[in-house]
Amino acid sequence: MSQHQTPTRRTLDILATLIAFPTVSRDSNLGLIEWVRDHLRRQGIGARLSYDATGAKANLFATIGPDLPGGIVFSGHTDVVPVDGQDWSSDPFKARIADGRLYGRGACDMKGFLAAVLACVDRLAAAELQRPVHLAFTYDEEVGCKGVRTLLADLQAARISPAACIVGEPTDMQVVTAHKGSRNYRCCVRGKEAHASRTQDGVNAIEYAARLIGHIQDLADQYAEAPRRNSAFDTPYDTLQTALVNGGLARNIVPRDCEFIFGYRYLPDSDPDRIVGSVQDYARDHILPRMRRKFAAADILFEKQSDNPALRPGPNAAIARFVMGLSGAGCAGPHVSYMTEGGLYQQAGVASVICGPGSIEQAHRPDEYVELGQLARCEAMIAALGEHAAEFQTDTETTGEAR
């Protein structure tokens, strides 16, 4: 553990408050967002909110320091995954400290980071910052990074252009410069109903969907058998899986419809269109002809449900060096297979790295926790990064050419 052993009482109190808001993705996060807005307002800091289509969820974006282009964003999501069916030792929405850990839903993913950021606001506001420090708190990251898209569109419309972003997902305070991308699709297979005693008159959608699901598994096996050599990823290949299947009406009816959800995580240098194209080609060339020999109107349709880009390591070199120099991380951590909002920030032209307190192994589990020493290290990093933000230069500024 670093020399920073214990977080401030301010961080612990704020984290307990944030955990007490049950911001499960299916529910509103407005209570938490409005509390943060008021917390900042009391310190003389204004915030802009951007809402989802229902008005029940919102992002918050605030700026500390001068009204100038550039600056560094501390970004995190406010939503958490459900606790339904999980065996918790205590109330998941009441923070509990024991054995050097703070327990509660969202403690590491990722309200611990948000609390550390908010605890440093007064210190940053009192400093004579030469470049702005921005706070970005989003909704619905856990269900497809929905909120950050609204936030980025709002920033573009307002001509706010940060230079770099630290996404505080749990990394054990290592600096992560790359992660996989993620896509998910719904596949709808349409066959022909018939009485179960006359299967020859129907086209069984479930059975043909099963053939396509089997092909998806075959592709997954092929990728796993050919991992990328010298890859920094913990899982050095693209992965696919089928997650949900639904079809049929009754046991005595040949099912007309079957739909399933499949997705994949892909390496930054993979082509995500090629992966889904392989599935679609197999459906068109091998499954549909067999179905249409029996029923000309049979069909297979694909609908993209989510598309979250990978975080590529190259464009993040300058901000990675800067964060490592001030955080004491020393060297970059491994590339990770889980997905964050960092890929979308990078896609919007904001160089991004992932660095936050806690371990991804604790995320989404019962008795989720963050170590107090990790929170203390995070506090120190945020204060140092904010106070030295004016020293950060992008690779373009340093070399005169983009990387």
Give me the number of domains the chain comprises. Answer: 2
Residue 1: inside a domain: no
Domain stops at, among 285, 308, 331 = 308
pLDDT score, position 402: 36
| Range 23-39 average pLDDT | 97
| Range 364-392 average pLDDT | 90
| Range 262-291 average pLDDT | 97
pLDDT score, position 401: 37
141 a catalytic residue: yes
Strands laid side by side in the 96-98 sheet? 96-98, 101-103, 369-371
* 172 shares its domain with 198: no
Q: Write a three-state SS string for 44-75.
A: CCCEEEEECCCCCCEEEEEEECCCCCCCEEEE
Catalytic residue among 79, 142, 368, 387, which?
79
Say whether pLDDT at 3 is over 50: no
Say whether pLDDT at 4 is over 70: no
Tokens representing residue 211 in the block: 């053939």
* 189 shares its domain with 334: no
pLDDT score, position 172: 93
Dist CA 154 CA 148 (whole Å): 10
Residue 35: inside a domain: yes
Catalytic residue among 27, 52, 84, 141, which?
141
* 20 shares its domain with 51: yes
- Asked whether 379 and 373 are in contact (CB, 8 A), the reply is no
pLDDT score, position 352: 95
* 237 shares its domain with 100: no
* 173 shares its domain with 185: no
Dist CA 311 CA 348 (whole Å): 12
Domain stops at, among 274, 293, 308 = 308
Residue 302 is part of a domain; what is its CATH number? 3.30.70.360
* 264 shares its domain with 360: no
Residue 332: inside a domain: yes
Residue 3: inside a domain: no
Whole-model pTM: value is: 0.89
Contacts of 399 (CB under 8 A, 6+ apart): none
Residue 254: inside a domain: yes
Contacts of 269 (CB under 8 A, 6+ apart): none
Say whether pLDDT at 403 is over 60: no
* 59 shares its domain with 159: yes
* 289 shares its domain with 340: no
* 390 shares its domain with 374: yes
**Tens-place pLDDT, residues 310-327:** 999 888 888 998 898 887
> Which stretch of 52-56, 104-108, 117-121, 329-333 has the lowest confidence by average pLDDT?
329-333
**CA 120 to the chain's CA centroid:** 24
Residue 60 is part of a domain; what is its CATH number? 3.40.630.10
What's the domain range around 198?
181-308
Dist CA 278 CA 224 (whole Å): 16
Q: In whole angstroms, how far apart are CA 69 and each of 32, 161, 333?
A: 28, 6, 29
* 88 shares its domain with 151: yes
Say whether pLDDT at 331 is over 80: no
pLDDT score, position 329: 65
| Range 206-219 average pLDDT | 98
- Farthest-apart Cα atoms in the chain, separation: 81
Domain stops at, among 266, 281, 308 = 308
* 174 shares its domain with 185: no
Residue 139: inside a domain: yes
> Rounded mean pLDDT of the chain?
93
* 13 shares its domain with 68: yes
Dist CA 18 CA 29 (whole Å): 11
**Tens-place pLDDT, residues 75-103:** 999 999 999 999 999 999 999 999 999 99
